[in-house]
Every structure is written in C-alpha cells, then in structure tokens.
Amino acid sequence: MPLTPLRTAGLVAAVAFAALTLRAYRQGKIGNGDLLLRLTVFVLPLVVLGADPGILQWVFDELSFRQGGGRRVLGATVLAVAILYLFAFTLAGRAERSRRDLTRLIENLALEQFRATGHPEQFAGGVAVVIPAYNEGENIVHVLASLPPTVHGYELHAIVVDDGSSDDTTDRARAAGAAAVRLPLNRGQGAALRTGYRLALATGAEMVVTMDADGQHQPSELSRLVGPIAEGDVDVVGGSRVLGDADPSHAARELGIKLFARLLSLLTWSKVTDPACGYRAVRTSSLRGLEFRQDQFHNSEFIVEASKKHLRSVEVPVTVTNRLSGQSKKPPHFRYGMGFANALMRAWLR
C-alpha cells in the first residue's frame, strides 16, 4: 500500500508527539501514568494507522461501516469520538482526585497552623464558633467583640477561617482574641466551613456554631441555637429568617428562598423554611458523621446530609440584617440559584 501524504503526516505527527512526551517525562513535567497514557492514546494509534490503515477494516465491517459512500470516514469519526470520550472521562476522574488531594493538603496545613497558634485546648467542653471570612477585616472585630463569653453555661471561643483574604482579616481576628487560620487560596465559603469543622473536631468542643463574618447574624441570639442541643432535644438547630426577621432583600432572592425551602422539604421529608441561612448549631458528636464536598453553597449540602444521617433537626427564629460594611461576596442572583440547585442535587444523589 503506497505511503500517501495523509499517512505520512500521521507518522510525522506520531514521532513529534512521542519526542515531546519523552522530553516532558525526562524533565519531570509528567509522571509514569501520563507517559503511558499519552503514548497509548495518541502515539500508538497514529503509528498503527499510518503504517497500515487496513488494520481496522474488520472493526469497521463489524460496526456496519463498510467501504463506499464515505462510511469508512464516518466510522473513523465515531471511533475517534469514542476515544476522546474515554480520555475525557479519565481526565475528569484525575481532576477530582487532584481536587480532593488539594483539599486534604489545605486542611492539613490549616490544622497544623491551628495547633501552633490557636490554643485548641481552650475549646474542650465548650462551644466552638466557626466563622468563615473573606476580606472581612472591617467587620470581623465587631463580630468577635459581640460574642458572649458563655452561652447556656458553655464557654464560647471563636475560630476564624480566613479563606485566602487579601486584607488583614487574620491579623485583626487574632488581635481580637480569636483563633484564626489563613488558607493559602480562596476556595469558597463551603471549603472554609469544612476546614473550620475539622479544626473544631480536633478541640473536644461539645458543640459547633457557624455564623457569618459580615455582621448579618446576631450573637445575642446564640442561646436560641445552643439551647435545644444543650437540653438534649435535638442534634442540629438551624436559624430561620423566615420564622424570625430580616432586612428587606432582593425579590429574586426571597423567591429563591421560598422555592428551595419547598424543594428541600420535599427531598428531606422535613419542614425547611430557610435553606440559605448559615447561622447554625450542631452537636459535635453528630458532626463527625457528616460528609461535605461542596466548596460553595454549603447550606443545602448540610441540610441534605443531616437528613440522610437521620439527625434530629429543628429551626428557630433568628434575625438577619444587612452586612455591616463592604460588598457581598455572593454571585448574582441567577448564578447563585443555579449553584445552589447544583449543590443540592449533587448532595442528594450521592
């Protein structure tokens, strides 16, 4: 069979790609797995088809892409798409593993930082207040100063998780007396809360409370969240601005809260009135059994996880006001709604 220009181009491409792959391997830019994958998926097929295109004739015949009418070209296209699909599937799996490795690395670094500077022994037997913060240097001092020293007889201490801020949030939090860690990059409120939970679990605290760093949640209402858990009635207490009060918000956001509240109530067979409020308390022993993966939109994931683990949950009225200063970090309403729905369904399906 004569060596056509197309076959020649394929062989040249195979040699060039093989040379680039080996060079990257020798320079340490790729590992053994990437080397094998590139040679198997890209180089080998080009060499085989360039040397003898007829080697796949039986494959085309079995798939009913017999010669004539351009059906061989269509068959080759189908095979190429199938290979690309498998390659994309493999890459997606590798990307997820890399994301989880990065998550573990960041959390381990935060834990070491917390043990070195946060005095975790002071949290034992008390309430750990986890406050995720991103560029909240102007507000964090006021929030921390408003926290009571005790609630329902439990000592209260704060853990501020600085989600890669570019301001002095961490320094101000530490100066105000809180245990504060700074993550090396911004990953989202859900990731910061997940890290905060891990830090709180390492302290021996009896309960964990989460609240915002922008002053929207009122520390004076902490007893409403801690009380039902302290009395042994429930495992999780969620704050609800619907049952309580809130400053006026955008109509689209209020509509979204109502719609997602009904959806979550249906999915969890419970009564949810405010699915987006991050003011929450949870018994530490119950928190250990929950799994969180979302870097954003943590509230829906928490509600679904608590329902799956059959935790006793209740909502209590709280007041949510406008932030003290600065701009909201939340995305526009449509993007927020889509992200919230995505996180909710992913948590429910797994």
Domain co-membership, 41 together with 178: no
| Residues forming a β-bridge with 157 | 128
Query: Is a pLDDT exceeding 90 seen at residue 89?
Result: no
What is the reported pLDDT for 73?
62
pLDDT, tens digit (0-9, with 9 covering 90-100), for 158-214: 999 999 999 999 999 999 999 999 999 999 999 999 999 999 999 999 999 999 999
What is the residue range of 293's domain?
A: 124-349
Helix (H, G, I), strand (E, B) or coil at 149: coil
Q: What is the mean pLDDT of residues 42-65?
A: 71
Domain co-membership, 52 together with 160: no
Positive or negative torsion for Cα 183, 187, 193, 199: negative
Domain co-membership, 256 together with 329: yes
| Residues forming a β-bridge with 156 | 127
Q: What is the mean pLDDT of residues 227-247?
A: 93
pLDDT, tens digit (0-9, with 9 covering 90-100), for 301-339: 999 999 999 999 999 999 999 888 877 767 767 777 888
What is the reported pLDDT for 192?
95
Within a domain: 117: no
Q: Which of 281, 238, 241, 21 is nearest to 130 (CA)?
A: 281
* Contacts of residue 349, Cβ cutoff 8 Å, sequence gap at least 6: none
**Model confidence, pTM:** 0.79
Q: Which residue has the higher pLDDT, 77 or 9?
A: 9
> Domain boundary residue among 66, 99, 132?
99
* Under 8 Å between Cβ of 191 and 223: no
Within a domain: 112: no
HSE-CB for 224 with a 13 A CA cutoff:
19
Domain co-membership, 250 together with 140: yes
For the chain, how many structural domains are there in total?
A: 2
What is the reported pLDDT for 1?
55
Under the banding of pLDDT at 50, 70 and 90, the label for residue 61 is low
> Domain boundary residue among 52, 83, 99?
99
DSSP 249-287: --HHHHHHHHHHHHHHHHHHTS--S-TT---EEEEHHHH
Domain co-membership, 342 together with 194: yes
Under the banding of pLDDT at 50, 70 and 90, the label for residue 65 is low
Domain co-membership, 93 together with 153: no
Domain co-membership, 292 together with 173: yes
Domain co-membership, 337 together with 200: yes
Within a domain: 292: yes
What is the reported pLDDT for 226?
97
Domain co-membership, 195 together with 288: yes
Query: Is a pLDDT exceeding 80 seen at residue 344?
Result: yes
How many whole angstroms separate alpha carbon 131 and alpha carbon 193?
Answer: 8
Q: CATH number, domain at 243?
A: 3.90.550.10
Within a domain: 110: no
Within a domain: 170: yes
Q: Which residue has the higher pLDDT, 41 or 302?
A: 302
Domain co-membership, 223 together with 131: yes
Domain co-membership, 71 together with 128: no
Domain co-membership, 132 together with 81: no
